[in-house]
Each structure stands twice: as structure tokens, then as C-alpha cells.
């Protein structure tokens, strides 16, 4: 039997000359934004005239934001009048066939016909300097950091078979949706959330809610209407 640690281990590798300057990927639970941390657990509802739980008490909302790992921006990016600039000294090394820039671009024609296309705007691409190796049978779902509409870009979603494709860098194309943004996108800003997924074949069937299924629906709905945190205490799975 394989050791569970090895069977569920993600291996990150970077060029040795970058090891001392490159921010490491982090578990998503360690990258919650300040706005989420500052949220109260309850807020007054003018519609119902009472206190209501906020998303800070919603397990599915939290679990989505804290699952997988976050890939960080590798350098400060200055943005002004639609121009992107940076200052970054990269030491030389034995490995030479990879880009040194923290940011690259895709021509707009590559997303023509999609909601991300604008004739006068490139798709940016955040450069990643870590290779990512997953155990056999797993792919890597790469997407925008979950529920992070505060970021001035939207990372495009992709699925990479990182159990076999792990000897090259996977970069992160993104649509810059806030043309009015001026300031610094700081080193360490999460630019992608990555979630390992087990590749499996699925079948499906359709049924009506009747008999025991209808009774279970009634019981769960009743419990939810009478008690707080039923989902958290009785249904939520441990994810770490």
C-alpha cells in the first residue's frame, strides 16, 4: 500500500538560482484577504429587521476560498495609465531556457470571440517559476483566486494534467478587467488558485424525490430551519 503522504504530495521545483528570491506557493487557507478577515459574522438586515449571518459563517464559501494552494506574484508590478513596469534582478544560473520577466502578454486575437476579448487590450500572463508535480491520476485545476473580485484582473481557468506534465512551467493568463487601476500589484499577491482533482469517469442517473429521499429532504430542511450550524456540524468534511 502506498504511503498516504506520498500519494497526496505535491512537489514544487524551481531553478536553484531563484530559490532565495522566489515566493513559495502557500496553502489557500493561509492567503485569506484582509477584507474577509475584517468581516463580522453577523450584519443587520434592513429587509428582515434582524441580524443575519454573513458569508464569514458560510462553510461552502469559506471552504472554496481555503482549498488547494495559491500561486503568488513574483515581483512588484507598477501600473499607471495602462502600462506595466517592474524592477527585478534575476541571478544567472545553469538553467537558461525560461523567461525572466514576471509578466508576459498574449495577443488579443488569441481570445477573439470570448468574453475576455477587447481589440485594444492584451491578455496578460503571470509568469510562474515553479514546476508542479502531482501524484498519478491527478490533474490541476487552475483558476482565479476564489471570491477575489477585489483583484484588478481575472485569471483564466484551465485544467493541467500535472501528474505527467510536470517538467515545465505552467503560466497564468489573465484578463485585466480594471483599466482604471493605478498603483502597485504587490509581490506575493495571489494570481491563481490551484486545486488538485482526481481524474475519474463519471456516470449519471436521474430520479424523483420520493420515499426515503423525500423524507431525508424533509428532515434536513427541518433541522436547518430549527438550528444553526447543522451543515458545519453534521455534513462538512475535513479538508485539511
Q: Give residue-wise pLDDT tens across range 193-216.
A: 999 999 998 899 999 999 999 999
Residue 229 located in a structural domain: no
> What tens digit of pLDDT does each residue of 108-125 get?
888 889 888 887 778 999
Contact 169, 102 (CB under 8 A): no
Residue 161 pLDDT > 70, yes or no? yes
Residue 234 located in a structural domain: no
3-state DSSP of the chain: CCCHHHHCCCEEECCHHHCCCCCCCEEHHHHCCHHHHHCCCEEEECCCCEEEECHHHCHHHHHHHHCCEEEECCCCEEEECCEEECCCCCCCCCCCCCCCCCEEEECHHHHCCCCCCCCCCCEEEECCCCEEECCCCEEEEEECCCCCCCCCEEECCEEECCCCCCCCCCCEEEEECCCCCCEEECCCCEEEEEEEEECCCCCCCCCCCCHHHHHHHHHHHHHHHHCCCHHHHHHCCCCC
pLDDT of residue 1: 40
Q: Where in the sequence is the domain holding 13, given as residue range(s)?
A: 4-43+54-202
pLDDT of residue 5: 58
Number of structural domains the chain divides into: 1
Using alpha carbons, list the distances in angstroms from residue 21 to 11, 42, 206: 19, 41, 53
pLDDT of residue 92: 73
pLDDT of residue 218: 96
Is 6 exposed, middle or buried, given 0-12, 13-18 or 19+ CB atoms closer than 10 A? exposed
Separation of CA 151 from chain center = 12
pTM over 0.85: yes
Residue 4 pLDDT > 60, yes or no? no
- What CATH number does the domain containing 60 carry? 2.70.40.10
Residue 49 located in a structural domain: no
> What tens digit of pLDDT does each residue of 70-115 get?
999 999 999 999 899 999 877 777 666 777 889 998 888 888 898 8
CA–CA distance, 59 with 72 (Å, rounded to integer):
25
Listed residue (9, 10, 24) closest to 129, CA to CA: 24
CA–CA distance, 156 with 125 (Å, rounded to integer):
10
CA–CA distance, 74 with 87 (Å, rounded to integer):
11
Residue 13 located in a structural domain: yes
Amino acid at each position: 500500500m502506498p504511503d498516504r503522504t506520498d500519494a497526496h504530495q505535491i512537489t514544487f521545483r524551481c531553478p536553484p538560482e531563484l530559490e532565495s528570491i522566489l515566493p513559495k506557493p502557500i496553502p489557500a487557507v493561509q492567503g485569506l484577504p484582509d477584507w474577509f478577515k475584517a468581516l463580522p459574522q453577523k450584519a443587520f438586515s434592513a429587509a428582515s429587521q434582524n441580524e443575519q449571518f454573513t458569508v464569514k459563517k458560510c462553510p461552502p464559501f469559506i471552504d472554496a476560498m481555503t482549498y488547494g494552494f495559491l500561486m503568488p506574484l513574483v515581483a512588484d508590478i507598477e501600473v499607471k495609465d495602462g502600462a506595466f513596469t517592474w524592477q527585478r534582478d534575476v541571478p544567472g544560473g545553469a538553467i537558461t531556457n525560461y523567461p525572466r520577466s514576471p509578466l508576459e502578454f498574449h495577443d488579443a486575437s488569441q481570445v477573439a470571440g470570448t468574453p475576455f476579448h477587447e481589440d485594444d487590450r492584451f491578455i496578460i500572463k503571470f509568469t510562474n517559476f515553479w514546476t508542479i508535480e502531482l501524484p498519478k491520476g491527478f490533474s490541476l485545476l487552475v483558476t482565479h483566486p476564489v471570491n477575489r473580485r477585489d483583484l484588478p484582473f481575472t485569471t483564466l481557468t484551465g485544467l493541467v494534467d500535472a501528474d505527467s506534465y510536470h517538467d515545465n512551467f505552467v503560466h497564468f493568463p489573465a484578463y485585466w478587467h480594471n483599466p482604471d487601476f493605478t498603483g502597485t500589484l504587490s509581490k506575493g499577491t495571489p494570481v491563481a488558485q490551484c486545486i488538485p482533482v482526481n481524474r475519474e469517469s463519471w456516470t449519471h442517473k436521474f430520479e424523483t424525490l420520493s420515499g426515503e429521499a423525500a423524507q431525508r429532504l424533509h428532515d434536513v430542511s427541518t433541522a436547518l430551519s430549527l438550528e444553526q450550524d447543522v451543515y458545519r456540524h453534521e455534513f462538512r468534511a475535513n479538508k485539511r
